[in-house]
Amino acid sequence: MNKKYNYILGIETSCDDTSVAVLNGDGYVLSQISANQDLVHQPFGGIVPEIASRNHTMHLLPLVDEVLKKTNLKLSNIQGIAATNRPGLLGSLLVGMVTAKTLSLSLEIPWIGVHHIEGHILAPFLKDNEYQPPKDWSFPFLSLVVSGGHTSLYVVKDWGKYQLIGKSIDDAAGEAFDKFAKMLDLGYPGGVQIDKLSQKGDRNYHQFPRAMLNEDNFDFSFSGLKASAQRYLSTLSNEDIQKNKGNICASYQEAIVSVLLEKVKKAALKYSIGKISVTGGVSANSRLRQAFQEYCTETKKTLAIPPIRFCTDNAAMIALAGLKRLENGESSQLTEGVVARASI
């Protein structure tokens, strides 16, 4: 029989968020604390890897202490540790993985290296006192993972059984938001600002290109959209841009959201799947949530978009992915390394 884990510790440090969580054996999040580094990277207009790993080093152990304190648990209660070890920024991944290995060695409990995207894919199954998966949420489902680093679409068949059916061939959707925000001087990360400015804008104000919609695959491309936006902005005066900022943002946002939705619609049809999840930082986008909800309501599909704390990079999703693998008898060796690029 598979071993049962009562308490598992999750660690996520693959990019710029330091996150620690404790889950019980049912995937219930007892506590999660995430430290965001947006402010320290803001002056550079993007993530500086050296600064990211240094900040993980400063934040990680205090967060472990804090999470345990909140759950009234001691390290000796933890029976397994899951840490993201691929893909991501090497320095950042190392901080989380070395911490996981050290705890594993000193506590004599197993650790497991988790693929970051597996965490995002499984996030809809997480539970806490404010979120639970939609009723009847189960396999198979379509999983759209959209963040600053990834835009991928999977058919999720079971725990550990993921079929990648499409991905961005260039920029990720979040990158497309961030780069456009940079053109408009909106600050970093720009997705939230574009979302805000779009609220009162006309999404049909300007028709930005929608790439690869007529191709017979589920891949995405956002670099043409970015180039087209650059050209478009260069034809406008500063005054025009300021006056129509909301309309321009809403139109640009619509181009991204509509491509994501159209590909998901096509996939749902081809694979006859009635359950859809969207995770990753871009799933915070209010227009994306509205458009996906409308489509799922109209077509009687079940939509799972977990709350932001489980959608952006977080340790709870890593703990859950690790828990399922540990329960399955898997664990990682102390010789295991980190990997910058890894597919799933």
Q: For residues 178 and 194, is the Cβ–Cβ distance under 8 A? A: no
Neighbours of 312 (CB within 10 A): 24
Rule CB under 6 A: choose which of 18, 312, 321, 324 binds ligand KG4: 312
Please give the residues from 187 up to 216 whose contact with Zn ion meets the rule CB under 5 A.
Answer: none
Q: For residues 276 and 292, is the Cβ–Cβ distance under 8 A? A: yes
Structure tokens at 308: 């932001």
Rule CB under 6 A: choose which of 252, 313, 325, 326 binds ligand KG4: 313
195 binds, among Zn ion, ligand KG4, none (CB under 5 to 8 A by kind): ligand KG4
Sole window of 2-10, 187-195, 230-238, 265-273 interacting with ligand KG4 (rule: CB under 6 A)? 187-195
Nearest to ligand KG4 of 211, 249 (CB atom)? 249
Give the phi and the psi of residue 17 in degrees, each rounded to 5: -100, 130
Nearest to ligand KG4 of 99, 312 (CB atom)? 312
Q: For residues 8 and 79, is the Cβ–Cβ distance under 8 A? A: yes
Helical ranges in 36-126 per DSSP H: 38-41, 49-71, 90-107, 116-122
Query: Which of 220, 197, 196 lies closest to 210 in space, CA to CA?
Result: 220
Q: Does 313 bind Zn ion (CB under 5 A)?
A: yes
Q: Does 147 bind ligand KG4 (CB under 6 A)?
A: yes
Nearest to ligand KG4 of 170, 327 (CB atom)? 170
User: Coil, strand, or helix at residue 28?
Assistant: strand
| Helix orientation angle between 223-234 and 245-271, rounded to the nearest 10 degrees | 160
Please give the residues from 234 up to 293 whose contact with ligand KG4 meets the rule CB under 6 A.
Answer: 280-282, 284-285
> How many positions of this chain bind Zn ion (CB under 5 A)?
2
229 binds, among ligand KG4, Zn ion, none (CB under 5 to 8 A by kind): none
Nearest to ligand KG4 of 162, 310 (CB atom)? 310
Rule CB under 6 A: choose which of 12, 118, 195, 254 binds ligand KG4: 195
Shortest reach from residue 88's CB to ligand KG4, in Å: 8
Rule CB under 5 A: choose which of 147, 247, 251, 279 binds Zn ion: 147
Residue 84 and residue 112: Cα distance in Å, rounded? 8
For the chain, the C-alpha Rg in angstroms (whole number) is 20
Rule CB under 6 A: choose which of 75, 98, 192, 339 binds ligand KG4: 192
Taking the CA atoms of residue 181, residue 183, residue 184 and residue 190 in that order, the dihedral angle to the nearest 10 degrees is 10
> How many positions of this chain bind ligand KG4 (CB under 6 A)?
19
Residue 167 and residue 297: Cα distance in Å, rounded? 25
Task: Tally the C-alpha atoms within 13 A of residue 194's C-alpha that lie toward its C-beta.
Answer: 33
Shortest reach from residue 82's CB to ligand KG4, in Å: 17
H-helix or E-strand containing 123?
A: none
312 binds, among ligand KG4, Zn ion, none (CB under 5 to 8 A by kind): ligand KG4
DSSP 4: P
Q: Which residues in this chain contact Zn ion in the complex, by CB under 5 A? A: 147, 313
Q: Which residues in this chain contact ligand KG4 in the complex, by CB under 6 A? A: 15, 147-149, 174, 177-178, 189-192, 195, 280-282, 284-285, 312-313
